[in-house]
Amino acid sequence: MDLLKKAKPTIEKLLNLLSTSLNIESAIIDDNFNLIISTKNYLKYKGLEVHSPSIKKVLSNGRTLVNKPGHMLECNGCRFDNKCPSTIEILNTIKYKDNPIGVLCLTSFTKEGRMKLTDNINIYIDIINEISDLIESLFVNDYQYTEFDYPNSLLNSTADIPSDTESNDHLNKIKGISSDIQKLKERVSKIANSSSTVLITGETGTGKELFAKAIHYTSKRANSPFISINCASIPENLFESELFGYDEGAFTGARKGGKPGRFELAQGGTIFLDEIGEMPLYTQAKLLRVLQDYTIYRVGGIRPINIDVRVIAATNQNIEDMISKKEFRADLYYRINVIPFNICSLRYRKNDIELLSIHFLEKYNKKLDKNIKSFSSKTLELLKAYDWPGNVRELENVIEYAVNVETNNIIAPSSLTEKITMNSNTNNLNIKPKIKNVEFQIIKNTLDKYGWDASGKTLAAKELGIGLRTLYRKVSLYDIQNK
């Protein structure tokens, strides 16, 4: 449409600003499938010719579309075949008087860019919607447009997007040398390519989302979106529209053209339902139906939308207790708990504390422009003696505080929070290692005597006068190995 061509100078400024600030390429295609405006790299890699099926799909249904170029039905017949230079595309309509006149495309041509977009897909969906609204606001009368200031809100939307230099190897982001962590990392690799639901359990701060991302990015779905939703942060009356989206006119204030829900945005990838115990019972029933037939309906919509999404849920609550109190549906629990995945608390794997502390020291040295070399031996003793009810998240908070207040190149006990030093007095520090050493040797000797297999451990637990579960916990806690 000529309207887009008339607004071209202003729109070009906006697209170039976005390209510079977000390190992303963009283009606008009109309703006749002509490339009207694009950034230089888009033109360099894709040229002027437009492959129309995806554009036609967005124009016809008015929905935001996340594309996996070269791997979709709409890609059939494209000159790039299965070697599309784009690694991901987000497409959205541009409208004039409620009629589609073109499509805005955000894209990346690198693997790193794809990972950045899929990791932050919710933010980019908001950005493309806001850009589309801005472009539509140019047209105030029939073929007229007005210049506008680029609002700070648009660029502020990107504050939480990590830089391209951040590592995308999510499995390696999980730090730990304990046998518990090593076993969990091995389990990630085993279950990654399954489509079955996973329920991750563990205390607050143990890193449930970190493991969920590791499962996704180790799987064959790694090139598709990972969509995270915190069930505790969504008002009850908005749950359904957040998960399943809404159609235009579904309620007062609904966005023109509607809005895709998190399940649609996760198409082909993974949706992570964090703190699922906080989900209202009414929404639990809706989710159960989705997990039964993998079809959703937008709020106010009548058209079924088929989805291909893996569901990973997480909770720090005892779901079985919630079921007995009728606070959680038993049938949904059985649907989401196909693959149980429990993360051990930090107090049971204290040999990970030093490695994690060093990792966080490096992180906050960089962030706060400090050059602290290490921890004093007394500081490490204090850190290992504390029970960490807030787990890894609490440890990170303590290290960040210490890096802020420490003025020398070694973190001293005085730079730890009072909570750590008050809960770990000198007497405890002196006696705890001795108790640990004695227990370690007794358990190891008993296992050497009866054997390290299941029957041997049963006999060892009986001789030691402890339960089998307690034996397994202490073997893990002290990292006792058959050597």
Tens-binned pLDDT, residue by residue, of the chain (483 aa): 577 887 788 788 788 877 777 788 888 988 888 888 888 888 888 888 887 788 888 888 776 777 677 677 777 778 877 778 888 888 888 888 778 888 998 888 888 888 888 777 777 887 888 888 778 777 755 444 444 444 444 444 444 454 443 334 788 889 999 989 999 999 999 999 999 999 999 999 999 999 999 999 999 998 888 889 999 888 888 899 989 988 877 777 777 777 888 998 888 899 999 999 999 999 999 999 999 999 999 988 888 999 999 999 999 999 999 999 999 999 999 999 999 999 999 999 999 999 999 999 999 999 999 999 999 999 999 999 999 999 999 999 999 999 999 999 999 999 999 889 887 544 454 555 556 677 888 888 888 888 888 888 888 888 888 888 888 888 887 788 876
172 half-sphere exposure, CB direction, 13 A CA radius: 4
pLDDT of residue 155: 46
- Residues 311 and 273 sit within 8 Å (Cβ to Cβ): yes
DSSP element (H, E) containing 144: strand 144-145
pLDDT of residue 371: 93
Q: Rounded distance, CA 431 to CA 8, Å?
A: 74
Which residues neighbour 347 within 8 Å (Cβ) at sequence distance 6 or greater?
387, 388, 389
- Please name every residue paired with 109 in a beta bridge, in sequence order, or none if there are none: none
pLDDT of residue 48: 84
- Residues 55 and 63 sit within 8 Å (Cβ to Cβ): no
For the sheet with 99-108, list strands across it: 35-38, 25-30, 99-108, 88-96, 65-67
- Residues 100 and 122 sit within 8 Å (Cβ to Cβ): no
425 half-sphere exposure, CB direction, 13 A CA radius: 1
Terminus-to-terminus CA distance in the chain, angstroms?
Answer: 75
DSSP element (H, E) containing 37: strand 35-38
Q: Rounded distance, CA 312 to CA 286, Å?
A: 16
Q: Quick one: CA dihedral 246, 252, 254, 257, positive or negative?
A: positive
Q: Helices 426-450 and 468-477, interaxial angle, to 10°?
A: 120
Q: Where are the alpha helices (DSSP H) in 74-204?
A: 111-119, 121-137, 152-156, 179-191
- Residues 213 and 225 sit within 8 Å (Cβ to Cβ): no
Q: Rounded distance, CA 213 to CA 170, Å?
A: 7
Q: Where are the alpha helices (DSSP H) in 62-178?
A: 111-119, 121-137, 152-156
pLDDT of residue 22: 76
Q: Rounded distance, CA 324 to CA 338, Å?
A: 20
Longest Cα pair distance anywhere in the chain, in angstroms? 89
- Residues 399 and 364 sit within 8 Å (Cβ to Cβ): yes
406 half-sphere exposure, CB direction, 13 A CA radius: 29
pLDDT of residue 159: 45
Going by C-alpha positions, the residue among 226, 187, 452 that lies closest to residue 344 is 187
pLDDT of residue 112: 82
Going by C-alpha positions, the residue among 120, 178, 136 that lies closest to residue 345 is 178
Q: What tokens does 344 get?
A: 């051990």
pLDDT of residue 167: 36
pLDDT of residue 129: 81
Q: Tell me, what DSSP letter sits at residue 199?
A: E
Q: Tell me which amino acid residue 90 is.
A: I
Length of the chain: 483
226: how many CB neighbours lie within 10 A of its CB? 25
